[in-house]
Amino acid sequence: MKGKHHYHKGDRGLEIAINPDDLRVIGKCRIFEQQSTSGFEEVPEIEYPSTFAPTNKMIQYDQSWFVEFKWRVFGPLACLLDCGYWKTQVLFEWMGGGETNFKPEVITQDLGRPGQEYTARLQINPRSLRPGVYRVICCLQYCFQNGKPGPIAGFEDKGLIKIYEDKRVVGSYTTGNGFVESETVTS
């Protein structure tokens, strides 16, 4: 099915491993974070809304955040997919430490309708990942009802994010070897 939806190699987004003349899957993943209130306990009159906004890739350890997948399926084979489902998964590679065992996923039933938009949201709870720098990879996989992976798979590399813990310097002291150390308090 030739239509107004075209896949271009330069497009950023999910890269899908299937012939685009038979089936096109077009989508994107985005990371959203909730406003952190860490460090503002001493100013109680300031209240932040509990809304989420696109991330700046600097996420506090105590923040809620999520990864949102949005995709559409086009082509003559799209109507045959209603006998399966889509598995969305986020992989986190800790820079300097390897892969993590934290791999959240969500299952979304395919409706077999060409042009149907699908959305999956993977909630990341506060303190799910320890402070550090992580590469984030978003994966989309079509699966048959029996759980076996189908021939449609894609991924999007979201790059690096920094999970950090807000620590405040409250003073310093000199160690026995002549170095000055900062004394911190964890918020």
Predicted confidence (pLDDT) per residue in 123-170, tens digit: 999 999 999 999 999 999 999 999 999 988 889 999 999 999 876 644
**Pair of tokens at residue 62:** 């105590």
Domain around 165: 15-186
Tokens of 187: 């918020």
In a domain, 5, yes or no: no
Q: What average pLDDT score do residues 92-112 get? A: 88
Q: Where are the alpha helices (DSSP H) in 102-185?
A: none
The CATH number assigned to the domain holding 78 equals 2.60.40.10
User: Per the domain annotation, does 2 fall within a domain?
Assistant: no
pLDDT recorded at residue 5: 43
- On whether residue 58 sits in a domain, the answer given is yes
Percent of the chain scoring above 70 in pLDDT: 71
pLDDT tens-digit profile of 52-89?
A: 889 999 999 888 999 999 999 988 889 889 889 999 99
Q: Quick check: is 8 in a domain?
A: no
> Is residue 155 a part of any domain in this protein?
yes
What are the tens digits of pLDDT across the range 13-22? 666 657 777 8
Write the burial class of residue 101 (CB in 10 Å: 0-12 exposed, 13-18 middle, 19+ buried): exposed
Burial class (CB in 10 A: 0-12, 13-18, 19+), 126: middle
**Rounded Cα distance, 52 and 137, in Å:** 20
Q: What domain count does the chain have?
A: 1
The pLDDT of residue 145 is 93
Residue 26, in any domain of the structure: yes
Question: What pTM value is reported for the model?
Answer: 0.74
More confident residue, 160 or 49: 160
Two structure tokens written together for 120: 């999956």
- As a residue count, the chain comes to 187
| Assigned domain for 56 exists | yes
Q: 77 lies in a domain?
A: yes
